Chains A and B, each alone.
Chain A
């Protein structure tokens, strides 16, 4: 397994955001974490990336214990997060945002990789010298994913990437996620769009108040009555 999270506890003061949670992601699969607001999904991803402290448990990535590593150390081990709300630096240009995506890299191929991004997303390339604030929500999401790609991730974690996007853009976003997986990037996807997430994922788990309440293959989860009652009825 590429990523193994074991008995992970995350606390913010009195708030016990993630409780003894275990999950794993293989090197060529998409795993999705479902659940309503406040279930602890974002805390889980931030703890895996090292952005919030872990109370107990451990995180292994690519055969290495990364539980106590700093975010830069995790990035250098090719673990990247596309955060909730995208967190684009709006005052920086599109090009500078991409350069920041490669901040932890020391190799000389950054420019080549940025050019590849511009080939892939021509609307980013055309406006590379403009501040990122000119981009639409969908374009900002492409920029956020591109920025994470520049860390050359083995595993990319995405936190509600479809939030605020039109149905057409959501469709394109999930096509992109599938194509990233085909290029060899494992995906850990947090979503509220349960329908779409279970369509692209091979496995999934459902969180509620910091606990995993349901776990299984995507097909099993799609057919699960409990999940259908709780979430699928409200999807989209």
Chain B
């Protein structure tokens, strides 16, 4: 049967939810078997982190799958959400909202990310003339999105400075399951991340616009032939990207409480690692990759200390792409005949 999450033609197919669930269960199982509850705690917190990486990795996968475009502005959209939320909250603009001010601030942050993503769409796609089949096809969107990464980051630096800021969330309740302590914000984050990704796969699989996006992903010329107005569909990709990156940024802000102009850089590179590890172009690959990278990060901190994280994550990516160049769950034919 079809792989519900894959954007392009999969060579072998497993039901995506089964893969994701299997990865989670196996990781927790191995952790408890080997290391007992100390490790299980690390795995659980890795899953929480992985949920954020997953959401960002899915955003990357969406633009790569549909537009064959590595959208470098995604980390910036992530950062904008956190900084804007902190900005409107700390300036006291939202005092009328009382206890819900922090939540409203996050919604505003996500909305700003979506608007920023649409601005990026205008200047990386709409106004630029790319010719399908030559070097401008990839270089122009890539370079202009890299430009936006730096422009947005420096705008925030000018506006708010380079200091890390505190985003206060008025709850910090914990849940205990055995010896494992779970923060309520963390659990809520996992649920929201999974819901956001589930909503995206629903849109891709079940709606008219989703069918159009998957047709573009496979062959833009076929989409045009069938009457898909690409200039109307491309902004939808950027809106979805903005929502996913913004939601991930909001979850990160709630979970870790720190925001800065550079908060997107680390998450962005980890999400790219997750996407490559899982298999470029496959949504379920991005989901699995995000979870694996999150858990690898927390376990690496536990065993080898905080400075080992990048080496562990990227070492893992290198090993995987040497052994399986298509990534863990890849095998998609992304990369041919894109816009």
- A-side residues, CB < 8 A to B, are 49, 51, 70-72, 75-76, 81, 83, 87-93, 96, 99-101, 103-104, 129-131, 133, 147, 151
Give the contacting residue for A92; candidates B218, B224, B227, B228; CB below 8 A: B218
What residues of B have a CB within 8 angstroms of the CB of A101 in the complex?
226
* A91:B211 contact, CB within 8 angstroms: no
* B211:A100 contact, CB within 8 angstroms: yes
* A90:B218 contact, CB within 8 angstroms: yes
Q: What class of interface size applies to chain B in its complex with A?
A: 20 to 34
What residues of A have a CB within 8 angstroms of the CB of B215 in the complex?
89, 92, 100
* A147:B214 contact, CB within 8 angstroms: no
In angstroms, Cα B255 to Cα A68, docked, is 54
In angstroms, Cα B2 to Cα A96, docked, is 12
* A87:B225 contact, CB within 8 angstroms: yes
* B227:A91 contact, CB within 8 angstroms: no
Give the contacting residue for B227; candidates A72, A83, A131; CB below 8 A: A72
In angstroms, Cα B8 to Cα A99, docked, is 18
| Closest chain B CB from A109 CB (angstroms) | 15
* A87:B221 contact, CB within 8 angstroms: yes
- B-side residues, CB < 8 A to A, are 1-2, 6-10, 208, 211-212, 214-215, 217-219, 221-222, 224-229
Residue of B nearest to A151 (CB): B227
* A99:B227 contact, CB within 8 angstroms: no
Q: Which 3 A-B pairs have the closest CB atoms?
A: A72-B227, A104-B227, A91-B9
In angstroms, Cα B208 to Cα A103, docked, is 8
- 4 extra interchain contacts, Cβ-Cβ under 8 A, other than A49-B225, A89-B219, A91-B9? A72-B228, A89-B214, A92-B218, A96-B214
| Closest chain A CB from B221 CB (angstroms) | 7
Residue of B nearest to A105 (CB): B227
What residues of B have a CB within 8 angstroms of the CB of A96 in the complex?
211, 214
Residue of A nearest to B8 (CB): A91
What residues of B have a CB within 8 angstroms of the CB of A81 in the complex?
225
What residues of B have a CB within 8 angstroms of the CB of A72 in the complex?
227-229
* B227:A76 contact, CB within 8 angstroms: yes
In angstroms, Cα B212 to Cα A94, docked, is 14
* 20 CB-based A-B contacts, threshold 8 Å: A51-B224, A71-B224, A71-B227, A75-B227, A76-B227, A87-B221, A87-B222, A88-B222, A89-B214, A89-B218, A91-B6, A91-B9, A91-B10, A92-B214, A92-B218, A100-B211, A103-B208, A103-B211, A130-B1, A147-B226
